[in-house]
Amino acid sequence: MRTLDDLVAEGVRDRFVLVRSDLNVPLDGYTITDDGRIRAALPTITRLREAGAKVVVTAHLGRPKGGPPPGRDPVESLSPVAAGLGQLLDERVLLAKDVVGESARRVAEALRPGGVAMLANVRCDARETGDADERAQLAGEIAALVPGGAFVSDGFGVVHREQASVVEIARELPAYGGDLVARETEVLRRLVGDPERPYVVILGGSKVSDKLGVLSNLLPKVDKLLVGGAMCFTFLAAQGYDVGGSKLESDQVDTCKDLLGRYADTLVLPTDVVVASEFSADADTRTVSVSDMPEGWMGLDVGPETVSAFGAALDGAATVFWNGPMGVFEMAPFAAGTTGVAEAVAASSAFSVIGGGDSASAIRAAGLDEGRFGHISTGGGASLEFLEGHVLPGIAVLEPSRHSARPGEGT
């Protein structure tokens, strides 16, 4: 993979550089509630600005269905993101009103060396996620906005997607991996290669089915795998416990029984949970043993005994990977498990990797110093697919020798 170092060494002054960033941040109206992905994009954009490039950023927000930019709809408009990026850069970021139309052309042409512009939400053009021919057509039109330019892939959260601004654009322009993508790839290859041991993985989230690939791929390789979140209740049901009204994937119980049988010494499950009478921050709550779930009540967090046990399992660990919250951390009564595990990971002397998504948001919500973690990924889904052993098309396209790799082959 050619990197940003290579591009800067070649020279970018007064040259267009198209940067694919992942700026899909959570919004409350027009307010960004977690700007972690914007801050993660800053190093690459800043380096290019300082080198005198004319930087054009392409990104998405939400899941628009295609068609023209939806104006003021904050779910589908990048205007709050452009404003947030501009504040962090202390520089106005020009925002086009379309992806490849007249506004995009004017905005790109107006750029001066060191300037930054942003195209409209790329997913507002249905070709971004269309068939191969449609994606190639859109990529060609985007490339035409930056004549003589280069492409920097720096949105790790989208490199597992076959999309025009991720894959096809890298065939239209000289392509390089940005600092973020290079770092993410380096860290995850360390986890799937020969990580320093003991190696402990913590998995949470709602569904076993969503994590089955990474469970199957990592269980033979790790020393301990700690299971929390709603997915733990399917494992507990497989052990014969009555899980009350907790979320349960009945069709995965036999799979969990098989995993428990083969990896009894590796899997660590909760021993106590916080249960609620209903799914509400105002519900009645109790902390109970997993063997004493009240009928009809639902488990919404792991309990303090489990947090302590998970913390003990991290003692002496050399490598830790964590993906997925331990409970419904967005509601205060059910946030203690996730916060407690986050604090235990932060206190560990291990090289720790946070697998993006809700885990990264939980760390910031808890006010923990991000410097206490070895690496915080920006791509939850991409991280998991990498650890499952899949080829990520947005990475493979940056590595010409891997272009012939078939989906499902190793990374």
Residues that constitute the known binding site for (2R)-3-phosphoglycerate: 37, 123, 161
> How many other C-beta atoms lie within 10 A of the C-beta of residue 289?
13
Whether 65 is a known active-site residue: answer no
| Helical (H) or strand (E) element with 287 | strand 285-289
Q: Tell me the binding residues for substrate.
A: 22-24, 37, 60-63, 123, 161
DSSP 67-114: SS--TT-TTT--HHHHHHHHHHHTS-EEE-SSSSSHHHHHHHHT--TT
Q: Give phi and psi for 389, each to the nearest 5.
A: 100, 10
Whether 357 is a known active-site residue: answer yes
Instruction: Return d(Cα 126, Cα 112) in angstroms, integer.
Output: 30
Whether 37 is a known active-site residue: answer yes
CA 224 to chain centre: 23
| Helical (H) or strand (E) element with 50 | helix 36-50
Whether 207 is a known active-site residue: answer yes
Instruction: Return d(Cα 181, Cα 5) in angstroms, integer.
Output: 13
Q: Tell me the binding residues.
A: 22-24, 37, 60-63, 123, 161, 211, 299, 330, 356-359
Q: Tell me the binding residues for ATP.
A: 211, 299, 330, 356-359
- Cα distance between the two ends of the chain: 13
Catalytic-labelled residue, pool 15, 37, 49, 54: 37
Catalytic-labelled residue, pool 190, 207, 257, 286: 207
Catalytic-labelled residue, pool 357, 379, 380, 394: 357
Q: Are 322 and 354 in contact (CB under 8 A)?
A: yes
Q: Are 101 and 124 in contact (CB under 8 A)?
A: no
Strands 285-289 and 298-302: unpaired
Tokens standing for residue 388: 């499952």
Q: Are 207 and 38 in contact (CB under 8 A)?
A: no
Catalytic-labelled residue, pool 52, 86, 381, 389: 381
Instruction: Return d(Cα 323, Cα 164) in angstroms, integer.
Output: 28
CA dihedral 90, 95, 99, 101 (to 10 degrees): -130
Go through 27-51 and write b for each residue having 16 or more CB atoms within 10 A of its CB, e for each that does not. Answer: beeeebeebbbbebbbebbbbbbeb
Catalytic residue IDs: 37, 207, 357, 381
